Amino acid sequence: MGRVAGKVALITGGASGLGAADARLLAAQGAQVVITDVQEALGQETAATIPGALFLKHDVRNEAQWQDVIARTIAHFGKLDVLVNNAGLVRFGTIEESTLADFRFQIDVMLDGCFLGCKSAIPFMTKTGGGSIINVASVAALKGISTIPAYSAAKAGIIAMTRSVAVHCQEQGYRIRVNAIAPGAHDTPMTQQALAQLPADAAGLDQVNAQGQGQPEDVANLVLFLASEESRQITGTHIVIDNGETMA
């Protein structure tokens, strides 16, 4: 207990799925948590289940909203120690089926959102001695899945940007660690959407069919580790949590 006691954590896309699991576990281990999401009613409902949690409606594509969310976090809790850039979505379609609008929307939410999160949080983290930024990528960044080219591109960009931001923080002498995680299939609304929309034998679902899915708490345990001082020597890398999906 208390592995992140005294820390303040902001989790985007925290209304459900992986983000909600992250928020619950971080709070259970002593952190004060801020949940942000575009799903206002669901976000408030989730925050109500976590003692002391603050919910803020937040479109991660909007730089002004990022500034507001960070400012309100500081005003409410006094600091920011942990940022989990978790907000995401997927629209299915091969390269021939996808529209440029679909591509840009997914890039905007996930890659632009992650960029804005890092850019907005770093100046505040430096004022209180550092922190940990955890960017949520995906195994889709590491393997070819024909039905999600835009999602894959956004997640691959997150991994590359994570390394760049981590190097910058070290070069500037900031005590801010920046890492990415790459989950495989876990039982979340997004995965349920995929299973509902795609044929059972669709490319990319082989691991789900063969080995089943993980639970959101499995990813939350990794987020907790990276948020805590137990991972103080880990920065600029990505960690895969996929039950062996990418090992072949």
Supply the residues annotated as catalytic.
151
Using only C-alpha atoms, the chain has a radius of gyration, in whole angstroms, of 17
CA 182, 42, 208, 206 dihedral sign is negative
Give SS3 for 40. helix
Which residues fall within 8 angstroms of residue 139, CB to CB, at 6 or more apart?
Answer: 182, 183, 184, 240, 242, 245, 246
Residue 85 contacts residue 136 (beta carbons within 8 Å): yes
Distance between CA 150 and CA 155 in Å, rounded?
9
Give SS3 for 181. strand
DSSP code at position 214:
B
